[in-house]
Chain A
């Protein structure tokens, strides 16, 4: 897709993982996450293997560990939630360094942390090897309702236009000596937000007019037909299939 919408998570590259069709990658990540969630929490070694699998994919994709770990920081709020669990969940207590912790709470925290971290890591890997535009095409290919995909595409396309409009309005305000300081000025900001809404709405009407002028009747034409070869599907399936084997072992052992 060349230089498309470089988002902050995306890392440009030409690895085999980058080259896989987006819908294969999406399906692979989805299945991987399902398998991870279905793994019994007591099989601690299985989660280690999953992490190793993801590390392997990251190596093939040539995504450095530091890059991956920094992007995984979005997980922090969930970690906080997990840390609370040993204190609040009722059940058998263990004593550690003089603090009493609940055993089911500890297992619950481990469960949330391990599965959450693996899920976030897989998603970050997907995002760092797939462009936003390609992700949308992939979702469309995987039969997500086309209306949702259209809305998301318009958000990408017009996000910058609207941010720009917001910036121009802010410049116009400041050029006339206005600085937002404290609650007294919220009214002015509110009016700006209203004006922005109306401008965006009117732009929406004009865009719709332009779309109708080029024959739009409610459905987007398929311009880029995504295709995947058997080999590409097989390559993408390697991750969730290996994970599935690990998961089955976890249940039987």
Chain B
């Protein structure tokens, strides 16, 4: 590639040599390297226990790196920038009941921006915009526990979008969704204009949404490349306990719209 005269924006996410051991001594990450450019959608694949969730919890400083570093849009994840880092990295957890803790949907979506200091009309506009993006605007005054699971997952995405994050991180977003909700969520994610890192066991979903995929296995990045190529490599998948659903042929699927 020829050198660009104009300055590129810093990558949304840059992880360098990240290693981490849990307090009980169990080492979960052994030197992870991962760069995600601004606007990219990347799938993070890997078997149970590979360290995916552990990696995700490093991205907003819940865990502190044992060795190595994490940088979000040029800002290193460190104690003194935690508030700003948590605004930039939006994590959608696996169980929406953990994520939605306020009495009404509207207050829940407002929580993040209000913590960051937004008030009044500006706050209201942010909430409405986020709920509209996920098609849940008319549910604003409902309590979260009266919504269906798919609706709660969408609201969970909205709570994070309301913070206008640099990067959206989703931990298994398609789990427990029926096929229609799964597709609706995919449409929402595809329409968003943010960097996405998506942890998933749902390989066709990764293929549908993310042009690029990385495989995390036993605490290291084992493969990094176009999703179609990784999923077409039966040997690679087998080596890392990944399996395609019965009858699914990656080469027969049209390439997702890349960005």
Between-chain CB contacts (< 8 Å), 18 pairs = A3-B142, A4-B141, A133-B103, A133-B104, A154-B101, A156-B103, A160-B145, A161-B145, A207-B101, A209-B57, A209-B93, A215-B83, A215-B87, A215-B116, A215-B163, A223-B111, A225-B119, A225-B120
Q: Which of B97, B111, B116, B141 contacts A203 (CB 8 A)?
A: B97
Chain B nearest Cβ from A158, distance in angstroms? 8
Q: Which of B60, B95, B119 contacts A213 (CB 8 A)?
A: B60
Chain B residues near A (Cβ < 8 Å): 57, 60, 62, 83, 86-87, 89, 91, 93, 95, 97-99, 101-104, 107, 110-112, 114-116, 119-120, 123, 140-145, 159-160, 163
Q: What's the Cα separation between A222 and B115 when bound, in Å?
A: 8
Q: Which of A153, A212, A215 contacts B102 (CB 8 A)?
A: A153
Q: Which of A4, A209, A216, A217 contacts B103 (CB 8 A)?
A: A4
Question: What would 19 more interface pairs be, CB under 8 Å, given A215-B87, A215-B116?
Answer: A3-B142, A4-B143, A154-B101, A157-B144, A203-B97, A209-B57, A209-B93, A210-B93, A210-B98, A212-B62, A213-B60, A213-B89, A214-B111, A215-B83, A215-B86, A216-B111, A221-B114, A223-B107, A224-B107
Chain A nearest Cβ from B101, distance in angstroms? 5
Contacts of B98 in A (CB 8 A): 203, 206-207, 209-210
Nearest A residue to B145, CB-CB = A160
Q: What's the Cα separation between A224 and B83 when bound, in Å?
A: 22
- Write out, one digit per residue, whether chain A residues 211-241 have a CB within 8 A of any chain B CB (1) or not (0): 1111111000111110000000000000000
Assess whether B111 is in contact with A157, with CB atoms less than 8 Å apart: no
Assess whether A212 is in contact with B86, with CB atoms less than 8 Å apart: yes
Assess whether B110 is in contact with A223, with CB atoms less than 8 Å apart: yes
Chain A nearest Cβ from B112, distance in angstroms? 4
- The reply on A1 being an interface residue by CB < 8 A is yes
Q: What's the Cα separation between A160 and B97 when bound, in Å?
A: 11
- The reply on A77 being an interface residue by CB < 8 A is no
Chain B nearest Cβ from A65, distance in angstroms? 31
